[in-house]
A and B are shown apart, each in its own frame.
Chain A
Amino acid sequence: MKTEMAGIEIRDLHLSFGDTKVLTGINLTIRPGEFFAFLGPSGSGKSTLLRAIAGFGPQPRGEILIGGRDIATLPPWKRDVGMVFQSYALWPHMSVRENVAFGLEERRVPRPEIRKRVDEALALVGLSHLADRMPNQLSGGQQQRIALARTVVIEPKVLLLDEPLSNLDASLRVQMRRELLALQRKLGLTTIFVTHDQEEANTTSDRMAVLDGGVIQQIGSPQELYDRPVNLFVARFLGTANILEGRVETEGGAARFRTATGDVLSLPVEGRTGPSSIVLRPQNIRIEEQAGTGTLPGEVLHREFLGSQVRYLVRAAGTEIVVDQSHRAGEIWLDPGARVYLAANTRDAVLIPQGA
């Protein structure tokens, strides 16, 4: 199976349901062959955006270009965009083979070729032996693969996946996302993957867009988004974030962060002075028994053993701070009530100016 690689470009897209604005000012470029994720909480507009690309839902304003051609006003059946539905949407009155053949029949592909391509697609997902089953005789994972085969068999220009793993149980989900990625690499198909699960997005996508309130918050690789969130929403949504409010000050050429409670953290580089938030990941904070320069005094509130790590909840700097300590065998843990000092590795911290 071969596909011509096509990029996707979305220009100033707006979409509303009646009077409710669902998507606002979406601008996005997805490179040919890229595995791209739309990540966001429910109601963020990520599925709506995906459906708009496929041609479902209300007509949006703006342009959607696939391989350079604007398809925003084409009906769904003329878009050449393959979509795998969250519910798989396998037609229960057709066998697996009939389901997979459907798109080719609609394209008036000659019979012998349909047969050959359906066989190839089923082989691709490893389910050739189930060709004559009915969908209700398949397990969730098998249905998922058939839905995928049904979509890729028509060799679409782009592949859209709407929360494809959400109906699978946890262990299968991990396996399927690897298979999905392997398949995407093999076909070189430009793919958009909608999910609310950051782990799914992190493990599969080349780049992703984080959406909230119908607006793209940030676009970048998983690492970029985790390490350098541009705003508090992205910081909180990806991973666990400790956020301290305060302001950036400079004194004698050295920058430092003064929290609202008056505690001071030194900063490695000069930041933009003014009111700001500092984002500290749990693994970027160390627990010390003794006070040092720039440490925050605190009290252990709670402890959770997570296996490779011990997660402490510490009250410090007027808030509750999550700290992960990697665990070594036989290590003595701190108990709730213990007085400790937190040393933050501000080199890995992110400063987010107020208002961002």
Chain B
Amino acid sequence: MTQGPQPQGGPLPLADRLPAFLFPRLSPIALVGLFIALILVGFLIYPVLQVIAVAFQNPTTGALTLENFGDFFNSSLFRQSFFNSFYVSALSVVLATVIALPLAYITTRFNFSGSILIQSLGFIPLIMPPFVGAVAMQLIFGRNGTINLLLRDHLGITIPFMEGLNGVILVQSIHYFPFILINLSASLRNIDRSMEEAAQNLGAHGLRLFRRIVFPLATPGYIAGAALVFIKVFDDLGTPLLLNVNNMLAPQAYLRITSVGLNDPMGYVISVILVAFSILSLWASFLVMRGKDYATVQKGGGGLAKRDLALREKILAYGVVLFILLIVLSPHIGLLLLSFGTIWSFAPLPDGYTLANYVRMWEGSQQYVMNTLLYAGIAATLDVIIGTAIAYIVLRTGIAGRKWLDYMATAALAVPGVVLGIGYLRTFQNVDVPLVGKPLASWWVIIAIALMIRRLPYALRACMAALQQVSLALEEAAESLGAGKFRTIRRIVVPLMAGGILAGFVTSFATAAVELSATIMLVSNDRDSPLAYGIYLFMQTPSGRGAGAALGVLAVVIVALGTVLSQIIIERDKKLRTAGRA
């Protein structure tokens, strides 16, 4: 470790003049770590444990009991919700796989000019909150949407794309398939060419080669992506709410808490189930992947051999890719049409086009936009500060228990937004904020904190990666030239991490800006609402849909800009680094 003897000059600090038992010696960095640990316990661990505890308590006596779970499974509505959530998540994984597999296969196995199209357009779904697209999807795929109107007129049939659970599955798989695409493509690209050639050399080829060698080697990536899709769908609140599908777990938890009240145990039981499933699928994917680091690219190896396509194959490939992209981009197209449309009802396309929705949106939602900038800005700033500190403590110091900072921060991945929201409401309903005269649970700052906790795992990964790229020798050089720990961090480490930190900030900001599930629980009045909640409110009424769509377009633009910006930062940083090395 880097902790060398610290040169001490001048008079002894206060701590050293007091008896040691009164003030255990903690280095300043350890104090920072302790402070972060307190924040994580206070705003993540404790609230979640509180939720779990309530789920196992008798609501009136407070005694430890399992009867809440008994009540849950005795209710046919909850059993139905449980089944539906599971069913929707599983089928979303299947449908997302059907979308992602051909795209990943075509890009990694063939010299296909459309690959760039896939790589850029394939990720667009992620930059739109799924619930935003849901309404647009209704207008395109719904019972009286574009597709079914055309089908009815020409073929006399309709397909229930959006009926009930189907709608949730369609919206979710279209939104989340990039997780599978990204992970699967990365896995496929990481397979060394010699793996494939060795099999060919021993007599395998074609589909058999794919089934026996290529796909098994890509499974870790596939499983990682699939597990992520499963959890995201299982935990999602916004999409089912907007599609008015309430018999699923997350909406039930929300509805119980908001309608029956904070003391109704069912919301907590559902929370426990959501958390358990999140942990279970993360754990399962960990088990499957354990000891399977199949990233096999060797020096001089390079990924799988790419084959040129014959003209006929090329046409087929373009057909498949364009068809998939058209479906995948339909929420965006729909949203755009909706935002510029006058009236769009019982018609394949809007009746006319106007800018009125944008005017209305702008008049009605400046507060939302300002709130969003404020909340997401605070959350992202805190995320990168805490992320950098944790990364430094974990990677560069020997402080006891440092790994737990990482574990705690990462644990937020397994906590659905609904659960965090319920936990905050329960924990902070009676904690009054001095001078504001409100409980913490209904003060706007709690929304920013929730967003901060929710985005922390991602920001932390970005900071860790950035710090890992900074060679230890650079720090040691600064220290040997006389810079103390904090000055070294400030003058050497942070500037060198800047690119990664900035990228982490931008992604945290962009994704926090459109987060709905935690905020929807914590918004106590319309004045404090962020953008995502604003869209949700607009979308509640048919007359507000146009303006809601306009606001949705704005949200997409914000996230898109953020994504592009962070990509530019990362690329520039990478160039700077390689230039510095050469």
Set of chain A residues within 8 Å of B192, measured between Cβ atoms: 87, 89
Set of chain A residues within 8 Å of B293, measured between Cβ atoms: 92, 136
Whether A56 contacts B298 in the complex (CB less than 8 A), given A91-B213, A102-B202, A154-B203, comes out as no
Set of chain A residues within 8 Å of B298, measured between Cβ atoms: 86-87
Chain A interface residue count, Cβ-Cβ cutoff 8 angstroms: 26
How long is the Cα–Cα vector from A77 to B205 in the complex, in angstroms?
A: 7
Set of chain A residues within 8 Å of B301, measured between Cβ atoms: 87
* B211 within 8 A of partner (CB): no
Q: Decide: B194 and A86 in contact? CB cutoff 8 A.
A: yes
How long is the Cα–Cα vector from A150 to B201 in the complex, in angstroms?
A: 11
Whether A93 contacts B201 in the complex (CB less than 8 A), given A86-B298, A87-B192, A136-B291, comes out as no
* A229 within 8 A of partner (CB): no
Contact with B along A33-64 (1 / 0, CB 8 A): 00000000000000000000011100000000
How long is the Cα–Cα vector from A92 to B190 in the complex, in angstroms?
A: 13
How long is the Cα–Cα vector from A79 to B203 in the complex, in angstroms?
A: 8
How long is the Cα–Cα vector from A86 to B297 in the complex, in angstroms?
A: 12
Contact with A along B281-324 (1 / 0, CB 8 A): 00000000001111010101100010000000000000000000
How long is the Cα–Cα vector from A81 to B208 in the complex, in angstroms?
A: 19
Set of chain A residues within 8 Å of B198, measured between Cβ atoms: 83, 85, 89, 91, 150
Closest to A154 in B: B202
- Nearest Cβ in chain B — how far from A238, in angstroms? 24
Q: Decide: B296 and A56 in contact? CB cutoff 8 A.
A: no
Question: Which B159-198 residues have a C-beta within 8 angstroms of A?
Answer: 192, 194-195, 197-198
Question: Which A63-113 residues have a C-beta within 8 angstroms of B?
Answer: 75-77, 79, 81-83, 85-87, 89, 91-93, 102-103, 106-107
Q: Decide: A85 and B197 in contact? CB cutoff 8 A.
A: yes
Set of chain A residues within 8 Å of B32, measured between Cβ atoms: none
- Nearest Cβ in chain B — how far from A311, in angstroms? 33
Question: Which B300-352 residues have a C-beta within 8 angstroms of A?
Answer: 300-301, 305
Q: Decide: B203 and A92 in contact? CB cutoff 8 A.
A: no
How long is the Cα–Cα vector from A54 to B198 in the complex, in angstroms?
A: 10
Set of chain B residues within 8 Å of A183, measured between Cβ atoms: none
* B204 within 8 A of partner (CB): yes
Closest to A92 in B: B294
Closest to B198 in A: A89
* A30 within 8 A of partner (CB): no
Question: Which A227-263 residues have a C-beta within 8 angstroms of B?
Answer: none
How long is the Cα–Cα vector from A123 to B372 in the complex, in angstroms?
A: 68
Contact with A along B193-236 (1 / 0, CB 8 A): 01101111111110010001100110100000000000000000
How long is the Cα–Cα vector from A55 to B202 in the complex, in angstroms?
A: 12
Q: Decide: B201 and A76 in contact? CB cutoff 8 A.
A: yes
Q: Decide: A89 and B195 in contact? CB cutoff 8 A.
A: yes
Q: Decide: A106 and B217 in contact? CB cutoff 8 A.
A: no
Closest to B208 in A: A106
Closest to B220 in A: A93
Interface bracket on B: 20 to 34
Q: Decide: B203 and A87 in contact? CB cutoff 8 A.
A: no
* A174 within 8 A of partner (CB): no
How long is the Cα–Cα vector from A135 to B216 in the complex, in angstroms?
A: 15
* A134 within 8 A of partner (CB): yes
Q: Decide: B291 and A89 in contact? CB cutoff 8 A.
A: no
- Nearest Cβ in chain B — how far from A217, in angstroms? 23
Q: Decide: B216 and A86 in contact? CB cutoff 8 A.
A: no
Set of chain A residues within 8 Å of B292, measured between Cβ atoms: 92-93
Q: Decide: B197 and A93 in contact? CB cutoff 8 A.
A: no
How long is the Cα–Cα vector from A134 to B292 in the complex, in angstroms?
A: 10
How long is the Cα–Cα vector from A66 to B327 in the complex, in angstroms?
A: 52
The listed residue (B199, B294, B296) touching A102 by CB distance below 8 A is B199
Closest to A163 in B: B300
Question: Which B366-380 residues have a C-beta within 8 angstroms of A?
Answer: none
Set of chain B residues within 8 Å of A93, measured between Cβ atoms: 216-217, 219, 292, 294
Whether A91 contacts B195 in the complex (CB less than 8 A), given A86-B298, A136-B291, comes out as yes
Set of chain B residues within 8 Å of A77, measured between Cβ atoms: 200-205
Q: Decide: A89 and B197 in contact? CB cutoff 8 A.
A: yes
The listed residue (A56, A75, A85, A134) touching B291 by CB distance below 8 A is A134
The listed residue (A89, A103, A106, A136) touching B194 by CB distance below 8 A is A89
Set of chain A residues within 8 Å of B200, measured between Cβ atoms: 55-56, 75-77
- Nearest Cβ in chain B — how far from A75, in angstroms? 7
How long is the Cα–Cα vector from A83 to B203 in the complex, in angstroms?
A: 11
How long is the Cα–Cα vector from A86 to B219 in the complex, in angstroms?
A: 25
How long is the Cα–Cα vector from A125 to B76 in the complex, in angstroms?
A: 64
Q: Decide: A107 and B203 in contact? CB cutoff 8 A.
A: yes
Question: Which A280-297 residues have a C-beta within 8 angstroms of B?
Answer: none
How long is the Cα–Cα vector from A193 to B355 in the complex, in angstroms?
A: 72
How long is the Cα–Cα vector from A320 to B565 in the complex, in angstroms?
A: 58
Set of chain B residues within 8 Å of A85, measured between Cβ atoms: 194, 197-198
Question: Which A142-178 residues have a C-beta within 8 angstroms of B?
Answer: 150-151, 154
How long is the Cα–Cα vector from A72 to B277 in the complex, in angstroms?
A: 56
The listed residue (A56, A75, A136, A150) touching B202 by CB distance below 8 A is A150
The listed residue (A54, A56, A91, A136) touching B217 by CB distance below 8 A is A91
Set of chain B residues within 8 Å of A154, measured between Cβ atoms: 202-203
Set of chain A residues within 8 Å of B219, measured between Cβ atoms: 93
How long is the Cα–Cα vector from A151 to B201 in the complex, in angstroms?
A: 9
Whether A81 contacts B203 in the complex (CB less than 8 A), given A92-B296, A93-B217, comes out as no
Closest to A100 in B: B202
Set of chain A residues within 8 Å of B205, measured between Cβ atoms: 75-77
Set of chain B residues within 8 Å of A91, measured between Cβ atoms: 195, 198-199, 213, 216-217
How long is the Cα–Cα vector from A198 to B200 in the complex, in angstroms?
A: 30
Q: Decide: B217 and A102 in contact? CB cutoff 8 A.
A: no
The listed residue (B208, B212, B217, B300) touching A92 by CB distance below 8 A is B217
- Nearest Cβ in chain B — how far from A59, in angstroms? 12
How long is the Cα–Cα vector from A89 to B301 in the complex, in angstroms?
A: 10
- Nearest Cβ in chain A — how far from B210, in angstroms? 13
Closest to B196 in A: A89
Whether A82 contacts B201 in the complex (CB less than 8 A), given A93-B294, A136-B291, comes out as yes
How long is the Cα–Cα vector from A75 to B205 in the complex, in angstroms?
A: 9
Closest to A79 in B: B201
The listed residue (B204, B291, B300, B305) touching A106 by CB distance below 8 A is B204
The listed residue (A54, A87, A92) touching B201 by CB distance below 8 A is A54
How long is the Cα–Cα vector from A82 to B200 in the complex, in angstroms?
A: 10
Closest to A83 in B: B201
Set of chain A residues within 8 Å of B201, measured between Cβ atoms: 54-55, 76-77, 79, 81-83, 151
Q: Known contacts A86-B194, A91-B213, A154-B202; can you find 4 more A-B pairs with CB under 8 A?
A: A76-B197, A89-B194, A89-B195, A92-B293
A-B contacts, 24 of them at CB < 8 A, read A54-B201, A55-B200, A76-B201, A76-B205, A77-B204, A79-B201, A83-B198, A85-B198, A87-B194, A87-B296, A89-B197, A91-B199, A91-B213, A92-B296, A93-B294, A102-B199, A102-B202, A102-B204, A102-B212, A103-B202, A134-B291, A136-B291, A151-B201, A154-B202
A binding-site residues for B, Cβ under 8 Å: 54-56, 75-77, 79, 81-83, 85-87, 89, 91-93, 102-103, 106-107, 134, 136, 150-151, 154
Q: Which 7 A-B pairs have the closest CB atoms?
A: A103-B202, A106-B203, A89-B194, A87-B298, A89-B198, A76-B200, A85-B194
B binding-site residues for A, Cβ under 8 Å: 192, 194-195, 197-205, 208, 212-213, 216-217, 219, 291-294, 296, 298, 300-301, 305
